[in-house]
Structure 1
Amino acid sequence: MTRNFPPSRSRSAARPGMRTCKRRLPRRRGGPRHGQPMWPRASIVLRLERSRHCRIRCCDRRRDDRPILRNTGMTPGRLTNVNAPATLTRLSASERYRIFFYLGILITLLAFGAPFGGLIDIPISFLLKNKLHMTASEVTGFRLLAAIPLFLSFLFGLLRDTWNPFGMKDRGFLMAFGAIGASIYVFFAFAPMTYTVLLAAVVLATIAFLFVSSAQNGLASEIGRQHVMSGQISAAWNIFASLPAVISLLAGGWLSDLLESTRTTRILRILFLSGAVIMAAIAVFGVWKPRSVFDNLAPASKNPPLLRQHIRILAGHWPIYPALLIWLLWNFAPGSATPLQYYLQNTLHATDTQWGQWNAIFAAAFIPTFAIFGYLCRKIPLRTLLFWGTVIAVPQMLPLLFIHSLVGALIAAVPIGLMGGIATAAYLDLLIRAGPAGLQGTTLMLSGALYFIAARFGDVLGAWLYDQYGGFTICVIATTVVYALILPVIFLIPQHLIATHDGEIPHNE
């Protein structure tokens, strides 16, 4: 039984107005005994969590006399996230390379297996146009319906952040929905080929794929934040995602020629069975649990917040708003899709194969600047890379105004791609940093939904400008103006978020 001495006899008597410790707890080193005063500069703020044993967490105090929860950067009174990561740690070079190897395999598989991209989207486009003899408006309607799950990508991120299948978190998503996606592809490979069947196959495969993609997005973001390497994760992510895109674009013409002489039923069977193999490989890949990746991560919370709490946390987290607005403006490019295709094919007389080659060169030209960003992000704060990367990217489309031949356009694709690499990697780095702790999957899947919305509606605006004003020049001007709007948005980003480089732990952590 603890004895409380009267103030006159106590060596550490409380002064008027000073708080005293009210809880009977084992004494911590340097902490007050029961009944002793809690000195303002050395006090320990006790915060009870709702759990079976009412565990007590300790907090630090800042100069403004508000307790700051360790490893969360949040103050009591706000909605805090119980999934906040553990103490930030820096990894050795060998550990980072093993993480990049693991993520590289996963990202490459996903890039090839996406029903709305990669090697699968090109044959589907061919089927709709040449085998089913659909008009342009019918193809547009098909793509709009098939893209509905993509517009709702953030819901899959929310499920990833609140659900823990088989107690394996992201690996559980890879295994479960990789197998489900493979089963969907196998089923539709032997189904009769009609418009409805093809649409159902693409929609269901996209839903299964988005669960897998949310796991990859959340895992990569969590690794980047916890190990203070968000810039390097961004660079590696973009590089590994670009390689399959380049291969798919270069193979587009060859696939079209191959499928031209093949029956439609056989085309679908080969296409869907290929997708099944890729999704099955993702499911098998989920079994692998390398120590360098998962042993360094904080364990998932056994009692995560409810879905509505996650939504409240996300809605009240200011840093994601400028980050998502920048991402929206960067992908809302009215002159980069249909108007550019019409300009190259109608004005410069490019073939379908040459259009694919231009896109492949353009995508490949990003890779060197992604690698440069991966080096610079360890030396230079993100604030500097964001600003100068955007300044370089604003005039990205202007070289096309001075091109009057197809060969010149193919050559111009190289500097155009190089000009966008630093900005793209910096924006993804910002998205990884900006999301609230525990909602990494939701933040990045929300950015994915904005990407598809911005790309589709930007293309619609670009096509309208091209038809109304009869040229490609107005589309280039519109794209440049939209890119320039990113610069003032950068100044809305909280400075502490972008003041550090990779490997530098922020002062508030």
Structure 2
Amino acid sequence: MSTRTREAERSELVRWAILVGAGVFATTFAQPAVLKLPLQYLLKSDLHVSRDAMAAFFAAGALAWYFKPLAGILSDSVPLFGTRRRHYLLLSGVAAGGLWLLIGLVPRTYAALLAAVIAMNAMLVVGSTVVGGVMVEIGQRYRATGRLSSARYFVQNACVLLGGPVGGFLAARSFGLTALVGAAVALSVVPVAWWLLREPPVAGTGAAAWTRAKAELRTLMHSGTLWSAAGLLFLVYIAPGFQTPLYYYQTDTLGLSQEFIGTLSFFSGAFGLVGAFLYGVLCRRLPLRWLLALGIALSALGTLGYLFYRSGMAAALIEGENGLLVTLAELALMDLAARATPRGSEGLGFALMMSVRNAALAVSDIFGSWLIERHQVSFFSLVWLNAGTTALVLLAVPFLPRGLIDRRDDAPGVEITHSRPCSPPGDAAVGSL
């Protein structure tokens, strides 16, 4: 490849990376799961909900994230106003911003808040699916799935880094301010997408679009590589979680303020940024097989640090190291998901694996909260249980397809066959922007 061609590719990759970064920021920072402290404080202090009720609120509020493949079908197969990505991203950003404002206006009841959060998350899901489809498509085109996954996770951790202190600040103030901040963030992707996401008109609506969607579904159903990757994601994320129990432990046992809890998220996000940078370097030097094993093992070991979570100082140190180690594991899993997604089904395939992740995390948190609330399992016993079940997943890594995990990022490898059915006559190439 000539130097001029490499420079052109690098320039194009930077352009798409900016778009992906802006999209990830808007669809991540605007999530109630990131701006979480104000909602947690409202539910605990004003509505006096239990641990399992709070976990159920956030699990049900994220309902749309479990059905993310439906958004993938739409963006991959059903053009909106003649485009497959542009108008979905623009309209979902505007709608999510409006719904955040609605969350600030609805009555302060469990049901009303939950309904508004579900609707707002549905719009974020559409935007996130479009961004994920672009990331996978461009990553496969330029053999840069690891680097784009690293950049994506870098932005996600920046959101966590900001979300902690911002959430702590907002939790101590009127909830209406939280709604305004959420709306502004959700709308931030609109000018970037308007400027950078240009697509030629795409023909195909009605019967042709649904025929194309059925072809995508057949591709995914017969893709052993995709299902093996989804299975590993499920096993990692289904480990009994303690996210909600940790919040109650921080406030009720350690007596930490909302602002300090937000600062802890800042430490986690800051070290997560370091982890994202390290992965961007390591993925070009080590095959994915070793990165997966290393990440899962370090994540399990890092979880054991919560056994020493007994003071504010200890909490800061543990949140920092956990942010670093979990990021290395998460990025390896996201790299696996991107590699395993069939070409031409980028939005749907990647969305399917993210739905597996999101649903497993929700069930994990509910189960952990249920164990503490209903069976008096201690917080530290839950830590042991989470670390042990995570470590067991190492046994599954050798069973992944070698074509997925035995090469480095940016290295040529064997093309993975996903048994894609032939497209109908006259069908547009769904993998192109």
Q: Same fold (TM over 0.5)?
A: yes
Letter in 1 for 2:396: V
The answer as to 2:202 corresponding to 1:285 is: no
Give 3-state SS (helix, strand or coil) of 1:167's partner.
Answer: coil
Is the 1:154–1:442 Cα contact (8 Å) retained in structure 2?
yes
Whole-Å separation in 2 of the counterparts to 1:371 and 1:481: 28
How many percent identity over aligned positions? 25
Whole-Å separation in 2 of the counterparts to 1:335 and 1:286: 36
Is the 1:182–1:280 Cα contact (8 Å) retained in structure 2?
yes
The equivalent residue for 2:431 is none
Whole-Å separation in 2 of the counterparts to 1:348 and 1:279: 34
The equivalent residue for 1:113 is 30
- More helix per residue: 2
Alignment of 1:337-348 (within 5 A): 337-348=243-254
Whole-Å separation in 2 of the counterparts to 1:331 and 1:486: 10
Whole-Å separation in 2 of the counterparts to 1:357 and 1:345: 14
Among 110, 114, 117, the alignment partner of 1:199 is: 114
Whole-Å separation in 2 of the counterparts to 1:401 and 1:279: 37
Is the 1:113–1:279 Cα contact (8 Å) retained in structure 2?
yes
The answer as to 2:173 corresponding to 1:258 is: yes
The answer as to 2:66 corresponding to 1:151 is: yes
Letter in 1 for 2:284: R
Letter in 2 for 1:474: S
How high is the TM-score relative to the length of structure 2? Answer: 0.83
Change (3 A) 1:486 1:140: closer
Larger C-alpha radius of gyration, 1 or 2? 1
Change (3 A) 1:458 1:199: closer
For residues 288-336 of structure 1, give each alpha carbon's deviation from its aligned partner in whole angstroms, at most 9, with x where no partner exists.
1368xx79xxx97866643333222111101112211222232234244
Among 285, 300, 310, the alignment partner of 1:379 is: 285
Whole-Å separation in 1 of the counterparts to 2:55 and 2:320: 30
The answer as to 2:124 corresponding to 1:209 is: yes
Change (3 A) 1:476 1:284: same
* Higher RCO (Cα < 8 Å, 6 or more apart): 2
The equivalent residue for 2:422 is none
Is there any run of 5+ residues in structure 1 with no aligned partner, and where? 1-88, 260-266
Is there any run of 5+ residues in structure 2 with no aligned partner, and where? 1-5, 417-433
Report the CA distance between 1:103 and its aligned residue.
1.9
Is the 1:394–1:483 Cα contact (8 Å) retained in structure 2?
yes
The answer as to 2:322 corresponding to 1:411 is: no
The equivalent residue for 1:459 is 365
The answer as to 2:49 corresponding to 1:135 is: yes
The equivalent residue for 1:393 is 299
Letter in 1 for 2:259: T
Give 3-state SS (helix, strand or coil) of 2:399's partner.
Answer: coil
Between 138-147 and 444-453, the greater mean CA deviation after superposition: 138-147
Is the 2:163–2:262 Cα contact (8 Å) retained in structure 1?
no
The answer as to 2:257 corresponding to 1:314 is: no
Change (3 A) 1:365 1:129: same
Change (3 A) 1:420 1:276: closer
Whole-Å separation in 2 of the counterparts to 1:180 and 1:475: 39
For residues 164-197 of structure 1, give each alpha carbon's deviation from its aligned partner in whole angstroms, at most 9, with x where no partner exists.
2122221121122223334445566666666554
Report the CA distance between 1:239 and its aligned residue.
0.6
Whole-Å separation in 2 of the counterparts to 1:359 and 1:160: 33
Report the CA distance between 1:93 and its aligned residue.
4.1
The equivalent residue for 1:483 is 390
Q: CA RMSD in A?
A: 3.0
Between 311-320 and 437-446, the greater mean CA deviation after superposition: 437-446
Is the 1:335–1:472 Cα contact (8 Å) retained in structure 2?
no
The equivalent residue for 2:18 is 101
Whole-Å separation in 1 of the counterparts to 2:112 and 2:309: 44
Is the 2:96–2:120 Cα contact (8 Å) retained in structure 1?
yes
Letter in 2 for 1:286: A
The answer as to 2:283 corresponding to 1:367 is: no
Letter in 2 for 1:214: T
Aligned residues between the structures: 405
The answer as to 2:239 corresponding to 1:325 is: no
Whole-Å separation in 2 of the counterparts to 1:185 and 1:352: 22
Whole-Å separation in 2 of the counterparts to 1:348 and 1:204: 35
Is the 1:322–1:489 Cα contact (8 Å) retained in structure 2?
no
Report the CA distance between 1:471 and its aligned residue.
2.4
The answer as to 2:417 corresponding to 1:506 is: no
